[in-house]
Structure 1
């Protein structure tokens, strides 16, 4: 008994020390995730604190985080155990985690305010505006489609966690549905759908002849080692060869980058080479953030860079709600953080359905859509340059092989199916195996009369 009284306290101390050592590196991720998502959700997404805490933040350690919202100064502070994180809102640019840079430094960037729109969107015909015609294109059974969508919004498997769905057929919206508490005015987080939009922005710079995606990347740290041959093309195709861990469940590279680092591209740039560039597919949010930095360098002026997505893409195709969030260093988080309404995500899908042409104006280079949907070396037909593909039919066996999509963490999708004239957008909060993409798309396809 005497030995037991000595051993038990020692075991308890060992457990406590082990717990501290395990949790300490995770705390900035836990509180950073909460602060960032809460701030953007409230100040951009038109959602309430309660809505976020009962859905998006209601898992793992994150559900125990205490969140304070300062509406006057537009700052969210999130705390758990001995750690706190803060996110500050910048009008027109979203919420930025306060990492490595002060709030004053973050606010001092040369942000340009967006335009004041003179006309209401609902007075402008779709797709330039939100005035949607009553007529339905032939070839789709809308009643059957609505019946199917009823099952998508029950909150049950295999479509658990759906926030919103929009279906556009032959360019015309035929369904737009929202879960309770959401509507057309809500902006939704893209997560990795942002990679596809970053790819589009790269294309616009290629068309302007100021960004060479096949030349070695302009990265000083790489010029004297084996990484010197890496190109923006390889970074977008996820076969740069840089080591990376995209596991969202631990103290991984992607979590360190998004929630601990002020300069996210710099973190990814510091990674060593695991494979010969251009040979092995390894999905990496870090690679896309390097591309964001390379575009910043190509533009060469931070004020012009910070207004570039809005002026060169969003305003051109009527994505008036879209906000691209930068990191504390001022580089857009091309991997993960765009907020937009369902209709604006649909507009982006339509741009790609129409091969980069928007109402007669060629926004993307000729052949850019074909470039982005060509299989990357090493991917086995599942990934192009910023888009997921179905060339192999691996993840979507019941869906046409020409389908390609923007795909984001926790169930954000823009599906583009040229052969069926379809663009389908789905947003939500679905953990692993809670949303069956193949059944969802094929269920919509079955409502087409000729399918």
Structure 2
């Protein structure tokens, strides 16, 4: 027995150390997420810290269990800072002028942005559409979480036909698109490609030949592989303590280095695996094509031609736009992005070619279900929205963000919110209702 006790003690010690290590990883994610989300919610969206914590932070950090009560969040509006701490683990997000909030970023903080200018005389909700809109905003029965629909807009042939918000969200509130940023990144790379400033089919090893941080990459890996989620890099999109994606988003100063440093799990182009790391890596490559700060390029080349006045694209601590997740726009400006994609699909956009857009919404052989193209989700064979047009495509993001484009209806639909995991977002039901309303009300 005396020989067994030390072994048991060592095993217990290792178990405890592993538990502490895992808990510390979870706490790093918790404070990083909390500081970043509260900072953006307060300084970009104009929401209260209490609202953001109640609707966003607490539900998403429920994994902490009883530790959640020890999470402390402090907002300093004058200094442009949000700090979060949990049992000795700390993180800080700073609001940088013109660049939104950056986790553990350099520079002095800036005061909150003013709410985006918005004409409040929108169309509202036409009478025939009220039951469908009320259903889209209603909380589903017997649900373990909240639907939290915040904004719902419909436009046909460029005309806004329906607009509804849930207080305190208004037409001037900037809202996070999460992974809808991936569709924007594919668009911006497409614009640079068409100007001859980057060749997305060229091996990344060539594009990064003069980069001092050049990683060791498969010689056949290209930017198109990254945009199409078929890089084959061993990056796992699982949101848990110490995972690839949480390490990237909440602990890494230069986020692109996390996916770029991963080995190949599959040959490029052969296997579809949804990866925020792929798009973050692509964002770094896109910025290398710019001769100016990325926010200046976006303002001149993208938002000004489209008449947007609200877009804020956030960067990591190294200054690279977080192309997977961190862009904020008003619902109306998200609608304008959708209109760009609709116009490009029909070949009538001066910003983005029909060829690039059509290629972007063509299913890749790497995904046998036909769910994904190049930065956009697809409805091949009704895989997502059964009973709706197969050429429907959309930008989609965490917690129920949608910009849905239906070319044959000349229609764009925007739905924004903070829907809990596993909760029906109501989008399929609303689109089916829209199909019924197309005549005569639509």
Shorter-chain TM-score range? 0.7 to 0.9
More displaced 10-residue stretch of structure 1: 435-444 or 202-211? 435-444
1:54-75 deviations in Å (ceiling 9; x for gaps): 1111221385321100111110
Aligned-residue Cα RMSD (Å) equals 3.0
Structure-1-length-normalised TM-score = 0.85
Report the CA distance between 1:176 and its aligned residue.
1.0
2:401/2:415 contact within 8 Å kept: yes
2:295/2:313 contact within 8 Å kept: no
Q: Does 1:446 align with 2:436?
A: yes
Match of 1:51 in 2: 51
2:363/2:378 contact within 8 Å kept: yes
Decide whether aligned partners of structure 1 residues 66 and 165 sit closer, same or farther in structure 2, where only a CA change above 3 A counts. same
CA distance in 2, matches of 1:13, 1:366: 61
CA distance in 2, matches of 1:17, 1:227: 37
Match of 1:78 among 80, 84, 88: 84
CA distance in 2, matches of 1:236, 1:403: 19
- Describe the SS at the equivalent of 1:227: coil
Structure-2-length-normalised TM-score = 0.87
- Describe the SS at the equivalent of 1:339: strand
Match of 1:175 in 2: 162
Decide whether aligned partners of structure 1 residues 11 and 229 sit closer, same or farther in structure 2, where only a CA change above 3 A counts. closer
Structure 2 alignment gaps of length 5 or more: 1-8
1:57/1:63 contact within 8 Å kept: no
Match of 1:153 in 2: 137
Match of 2:4 in 1: none
More displaced 10-residue stretch of structure 1: 328-337 or 150-159? 150-159
Decide whether aligned partners of structure 1 residues 304 and 160 sit closer, same or farther in structure 2, where only a CA change above 3 A counts. closer
CA distance in 1, matches of 2:54, 2:100: 22
CA distance in 2, matches of 1:16, 1:445: 57
CA distance in 2, matches of 1:226, 1:48: 44
CA distance in 1, matches of 2:281, 2:11: 46
Q: Does 1:349 align with 2:338?
A: yes
1:329-376 deviations in Å (ceiling 9; x for gaps): 111100000000000000000011111789x76001341210110112
CA distance in 1, matches of 2:389, 2:354: 24
Report the CA distance between 1:409 and its aligned residue.
0.7
Match of 1:126 in 2: none
1:298-357 deviations in Å (ceiling 9; x for gaps): 22x3x3434212221112101210111111111110000000000000000001111178
More displaced 10-residue stretch of structure 1: 81-90 or 15-24? 15-24
Match of 1:28 in 2: 28
More displaced 10-residue stretch of structure 1: 15-24 or 306-315? 15-24
Match of 2:360 in 1: 372
1:351/1:357 contact within 8 Å kept: no
- Describe the SS at the equivalent of 1:308: helix
Match of 2:385 in 1: 396
Count of residues in correspondence between the two structures: 417
Match of 2:202 among 208, 215, 225: 215
CA distance in 1, matches of 2:349, 2:236: 40
Report the CA distance between 1:403 and its aligned residue.
0.6
Report the CA distance between 1:12 and its aligned residue.
9.4
Q: Does 1:408 align with 2:394?
A: no
CA distance in 2, matches of 1:42, 1:409: 19
2:181/2:324 contact within 8 Å kept: yes
Structure 1's consecutive aligned runs of 4 or more residues displaced over 4 angstroms after TM superposition are 9-18, 220-226
